[in-house]
Amino acid sequence: MEFPVYLWYIGGGMKIAVVGTGYVGLVTGVVLAELGNDVICVDNDPGKVARLSQGIPTIYEPGIDEMLKRGIAEGHLVFSHDAAEATRQSEIVFIAVGTPPGEDGSPDLTAVKAVANAIAPAIDKYTVVVNKSTVPVGSGDLVESIIRSHHIAEHLFDVVSNPEFLREGSAIFDTLNPDRIVIGAKRKEAAHRLVELYAPLERPMHITDLNSAELIKYASNSFLAMKISFINAISRLCETCGANVGDVAKGIGSDARIGSQFLQAGLGWGGSCFPKDVQGLVATADRLGYDFRLLKETIEINDTQTLHFLNRLDKRLGGFADKRIALLGLAFKPNTDDIRDAKSLIIIEEILRRGGTIQAYDPIAAENVRALYPQIQYVDTLYDVGKDADAAILVTEWNEFKQLDFSRLGAPMRQRILFDGRRIYRREAIERAGFEYATIGA
């Protein structure tokens, strides 16, 4: 992957700490180091800190390997487990820890609070504390009150909300080329520190109050999830009336007011963000006294989409008992090894529960799924996945699946049945290879 030359601008760099070195924290850290800032990435997982210090990436992400090594070699990037020391050495401290859903669907802020408590005592000069984690409205105030509870004077710090919009699989590119940068702050001076930091990216910046910035992140993800659920609901209609959801999506998406993105019918949305963020907004709305039924239905449509598709295959096979199913893809989307809320997990769980057996292939995510489901078989090469299978399901639309040699896939299968959960194939090509083909919304 190539990056614009102007990013090699060095000098005037800031001193930055990023606490939480997962997908968001690591990508943020390496990109800020690439921009010439001095970055300390902090994590409380000692194994992660050890690997990253040696230049070994802990996530799969195109472009991260070389940028990580370069940041370390040029002395712009170091890793540590000590959030307090990193804070003492920095003028801006990012909080980029996980905010998984709690019992009631609202985000669990335990890690955010822990970081606020860890960095507060180390604030001994003016410091901007930036919430990059996805956190509900009011969390900026919460972080501020935690820091104040350590008797840190008001003039010594500001809390800023700077939500992250990167997509796993193109996270480096997205961080370098965001559609917009949202900065929510109570005081203009604090927002301007971030404007300065991001200035080399030359991207549009939206300066807002804290609450608006926090809401923008949840509203964006919820809107995108709603768009996918909408087209998936249309796909159900298509299946019953003989229409084709691909044509319908094209027809509505070419209206500039609607746009074609996020109108691909499929198994539904998953991953580490959409499910928890939509739930999170529903929980926030409940807390604020608004029953967000539109989003509740968005979730309901999504929850039933994969099962609906699986039930079609179940019916076709006369039940999954003693049937062997081949899964193509396990990651929640292509170009990532992330399997959080991946549709593959629901499919595996259901097929096993109904008495079937599974063999699966994924170019990258297999090891992560193996940790959860050691009882299914994982193959290392794509065309081995069909061996003795009664049907195959395309779960993740990896590029390498797009140009399949169907005859080769079908040769070792017991029955040539392909259920395409992402609508990536042309029916004629597959049927020519002797497959029976079924997909969503057609």
Q: Where do contacts with ligand NAD occur on this chain (CB under 6 A)?
A: 19-25, 42-45, 48, 83, 96-99, 111, 114-115, 133-134, 164, 166, 168, 272-273
C-beta closer to ligand NAD: residue 114 or 207:
114
CB of 432 to ligand NAD, least distance (A): 39
User: Which of 344, 327, 346 has the alpha carbon at shortest distance from 390?
Assistant: 327
E strand or H helix that includes residue 58: none
Other beta carbons within 10 angstroms of residue 177's beta carbon come to 13
Tell me which DSSP letter residue 269 carries.
-
Residue 126: which residues within 8 A CB-CB, separation 6 or more? 91, 155, 156, 157
CB of 213 to ligand NAD, least distance (A): 13
CB of 119 to ligand NAD, least distance (A): 9
Longest pairwise C-alpha distance within the chain: 73
C-beta closer to ligand NAD: residue 32 or 438:
32
Q: Using CA atoms, how far apart are residues 343 and 267, in angstroms rounded to an integer?
A: 7
User: Which of 112, 189, 123 has the alpha carbon at shortest distance from 157?
Assistant: 123
User: Which of 116, 125, 191, 127 has the alpha carbon at shortest distance from 160?
Assistant: 191
C-beta closer to ligand NAD: residue 246 or 334:
334
Residue 382: which residues within 8 A CB-CB, separation 6 or more? 328, 361, 400, 401, 404, 409
Structure tokens at 59: 């996530």
C-beta closer to ligand NAD: residue 227 or 423:
227
CB of 41 to ligand NAD, least distance (A): 9
Q: Which residues are bridge partners to 206 per DSSP?
A: 182
Q: Using CA atoms, how far apart are residues 66 and 205, in angstroms rounded to an integer?
A: 28
The CA–CA distances, whole Å, from 58 to 42, 50, 64 equal: 13, 10, 10
- State the catalytic residues: 273
Name the residue whose CB lies closest to ligand NAD: 22
Query: What residue type is 320 in one-letter code?
Result: F
C-beta closer to ligand NAD: residue 133 or 284:
133
Asked if 58 contacts 52 with a C-beta cutoff of 8 angstroms, the reply is yes
CB of 117 to ligand NAD, least distance (A): 9
CB of 223 to ligand NAD, least distance (A): 15
C-beta closer to ligand NAD: residue 168 or 420:
168
Structure tokens at 194: 């971030």
Asked if 80 contacts 86 with a C-beta cutoff of 8 angstroms, the reply is yes
Q: Using CA atoms, how far apart are residues 201 and 113, in angstroms rounded to an integer?
A: 30
CB of 42 to ligand NAD, least distance (A): 5
